[in-house]
Amino acid sequence: MDNFWNGIYGQESVKQILSGLIYSSKIPHAFLFTGLEGVGKEYFALRFTQALNSKLEDKSKAALINTYISNFSEPYIKYIFPLPRGKNETEGNEPTEKLNQDEIQLVQNEIKQKTKNPYYRISIPKAPNIKVNSIRDIKKFLYLDYSDILYRTILISDAHLMNDESQNALLKSLEEPPEGIIFILTTPYPSMLRETIRSRCWNINFKPLSYSDIKNILIIYFNIEQELAQKIASFSGGSISNALRLMEHDFELLLEKTISILRYSFGIKYSSALDQFSEFISDKNSDSIKLLIQMIIIWLNDFQKFRLGIKDFYFVDHLETIEKFNRRFSNIELNNIVYKLEKLASVFQNNVNINLVVLNIIFELSALVTRF
């Protein structure tokens, strides 16, 4: 495989597609990189831009330009992501013009972290959307004359976070960009983008990373100890972002709470199960609940594997719980409960009452054994 992709884990089909485009010189003006959060979409966008500019005859200039691209330096690359709204900000302001000094420093620090670690995910408080100011600012970037570079990229991270106004503004820029300009939009949720935007982009889908790739990225880029990295990787679902959430929520504690919640729920000990939930989500963080639901579903899937004689378990250190449950409830039906739990996990977008969701989870788990 081409050395454009040295150090990037997985995504062999994506590497093949992009390599073919680089060699053909037939470069679409807009791409939509889709797939799970935390699988390297932005890293590929950077490397793709660098690979295209490596074709410059002046190799020292190409190397310098690629350093600028690595640092997200304009006018070589424009990096757009959600930003907070400044005090008294209007749509006529520059994207960061009305931010206070602390907010600007935070944005700069986040970008610096991203330059050091391509798998780092930028996260800025009170920044739920991509502002229309950021999209309108693209016009200035488009019409700068930079003849010393072959291709310049406008990279829009989490493009689904553009509201209707931002998407409308982007459409105008997407229609007829100047030569040498490439748009790359990344998102796990392409359906949240307008069809008129999707239809103008060359769609490339990214697959989940292998557990081995996740483990290596955690060790190399996040300095996580090997044994823990291996455990977390197996629960990550192929996403670095998921793996890091597991780390942030104390993975070992998460395992412990999952087993306790299951044990108390199956034992019809509602109060004890609720206490276990409450201890883990004392800050009423919806991410904590989602992770617990995810872990419960994984345990239920492990139980199903156990019944089918499949040995590939996630909860390999907790097989005793699965064996005991199977001895008592070997014939219970699990398909409906997994569906219901997944549905409960999805309702957090609707600002539902977290305590109500927790009680529903406990009752659904308890109902498995009471119906039996």
* Residue 257 in this model has a pLDDT that exceeds 60: yes
At residue 254, what are phi and psi to the nearest 5 degrees?
A: -60, -45
At residue 252, what are phi and psi to the nearest 5 degrees?
A: -65, -40
Q: Which pLDDT does position 351 carry in this prediction?
A: 57
- What gap in Å lies between CA 178 and CA 73, rounded to an integer? 19
List the one residue out of 110, 81, 66 whose CA is nearest residue 184: 81
- What gap in Å lies between CA 277 and CA 371, rounded to an integer? 23
CB 166 within 8 A of CB 132: yes
- What gap in Å lies between CA 299 and CA 136, rounded to an integer? 47
- What gap in Å lies between CA 133 and CA 361, rounded to an integer? 42
DSSP state of 130: B
| pLDDT tens digits, one per residue of 62-90 | 888 889 999 998 888 999 999 998 888 88
Averaged pLDDT score across all residues of the chain: 87
Confidence of residue 224 (pLDDT cuts 50, 70, 90): very high
Sign of CA dihedral 349, 292, 267, 301: positive
- Mean pLDDT across the stretch 207-225? 94
- Mean pLDDT across the stretch 250-274? 88
Q: Look at 203 and 172; give whichever has higher pLDDT.
A: 203
Percentage of the chain modeled with pLDDT above 70: 96
At residue 235, what are phi and psi to the nearest 5 degrees?
A: -100, 0
* Residue 287 in this model has a pLDDT that exceeds 80: no
Contacts of 67 (CB under 8 A, 6+ apart): none
- What gap in Å lies between CA 182 and CA 142, rounded to an integer? 10
Exposure b/e, 317-331, CB count within 10 A at least 16 = b = ebeebbeebeeeeee
- Mean pLDDT across the stretch 299-304? 88
User: Which of 57-66, 116-125, 209-218, 353-362 is the least confident region?
Assistant: 353-362
Exposure b/e, 278-289, CB count within 10 A at least 16 = b = eebbeeeebebb
- What gap in Å lies between CA 51 and CA 359, rounded to an integer? 52
* Residue 98 in this model has a pLDDT that exceeds 80: yes
Q: Which pLDDT does position 1 carry in this prediction?
A: 45
User: What is the DSSP code string of 74-109?
Assistant: TTTEEEE---PPPTT--TTS-TTTT--HHHHHHHHH
Q: Which pLDDT does position 225 carry in this prediction?
A: 92
- Tokens 């998407």 correspond to 167
